[in-house]
């Protein structure tokens, strides 16, 4: 078992029997600020302290990863990302039906993994986040309330999810694909233009020029705006 120092960050347990892959994932996760550990069997995963996110390879040497997923889900609401080399849709559907929040198909890049982690944490742990204050804007994920200069702004569920996605890291450019995965579905296959339509509605409702900026060809971000006097 690979161990990690406690950084106070989200804890990720990598369940992977290939030591090269496991070490690479743990190293990348730690560099990104996560407290990452790894185990190489399903039984070790079931015996380990419950993490914030379980990165679970379905092809384990001692037991079926789907069974591990099922048992973890029976006792915990931890976020589970199933990792598999299996290309068949039925395998992915089975993992999702047994409680996985998302899945990745090998091979995958570290950037995609980080995007999936951010998305599942936004969906599964909104109540643990303090309200975000950015200039005149306040976004409270626990109550799903938005205020601008103390004035509450009623938003549709999708509009709120988009704004919360942007507010999770003010100033960072969030791609349309990331927004789709957060506000719609982790495996959205529709047009990305739907994001632009909702962002346009958000801008009108918030009524603060420059609050949501377009990074052309990339996505959107929260811009720097002054507090309302």
Mean local confidence (pLDDT), 212-220: 91
Q: Which phi and psi (to 5°) does residue 14 adopt?
A: -90, 120
pLDDT on residue 176? 86
Confidence bin at 93 (pLDDT 50/70/90) = confident
Residue at token pair 């632009």:
196
Helix (H, G, I), strand (E, B) or coil at 26: helix
Helix (H, G, I), strand (E, B) or coil at 214: strand
pLDDT in tens, 110-156: 888 988 888 888 777 654 567 889 999 999 987 889 999 999 999 98
Other C-beta atoms closer than 10 Å to the C-beta of 167 total: 21
Distance (Å, whole) CA 11 – CA 6:
9
Helix (H, G, I), strand (E, B) or coil at 134: strand
- 166 contact partners, CB below 8 Å, separation of at least 6: 174, 179, 212, 220, 221, 222
Do residues 72 and 48 touch, judged by C-beta distance below 8 A? no
pLDDT on residue 7? 35
Q: What angle do CA 196, 198, 202 make, to 5 degrees?
A: 110
Residue at token pair 């100033």:
171
Q: What angle do CA 161, 167, 173 make, to 5 degrees?
A: 100
pLDDT in tens, 178-205: 888 777 765 555 566 788 999 999 999 9
Mean local confidence (pLDDT), 160-168: 89
pTM to 2 decimal places: 0.58
Helix (H, G, I), strand (E, B) or coil at 78: coil
Q: Which residue did the predictor score with more confidence, 182 or 43? A: 43
Length of the chain in terms of residues written:
229
């Amino acid at each position: 078992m690979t161990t990690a120092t406690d950084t106070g960050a989200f804890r990720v347990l990598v369940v992977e029997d290939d030591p090269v892959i496991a070490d690479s994932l743990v190293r990348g996760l730690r560099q990104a600020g996560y407290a990452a550990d790894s185990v190489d069997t399903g039984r070790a995963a079931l015996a380990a302290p419950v993490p914030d996110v379980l990165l679970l390879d379905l092809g384990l040497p001692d037991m079926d990863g789907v069974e591990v997923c099922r048992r973890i889900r029976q006792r915990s609401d931890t976020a589970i990302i199933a990792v598999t080399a299996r290309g068949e849709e039925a395998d992915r559907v089975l993992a999702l039906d047994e409680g996985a929040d998302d899945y990745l198909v090998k091979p995958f890049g570290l950037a995609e993994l980080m995007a999936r982690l951010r998305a599942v944490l936004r969906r599964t742990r909104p109540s643990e986040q303090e309200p975000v204050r950015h200039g005149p804007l306040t976004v409270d994920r626990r109550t799903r309330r938005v205020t601008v200069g103390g004035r509450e702004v009623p938003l549709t569920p999708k509009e709120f999810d988009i704004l919360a996605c942007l507010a999770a890291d003010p100033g960072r450019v969030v791609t349309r694909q990331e927004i789709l995965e957060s506000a719609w579905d982790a495996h959205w296959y529709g047009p990305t233009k739907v994001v632009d339509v909702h962002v346009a509605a958000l801008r009108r409702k918030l009524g603060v020029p420059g609050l949501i900026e377009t990074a052309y060809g990339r996505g959107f971000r929260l811009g720097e705006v002054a507090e309302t006097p």
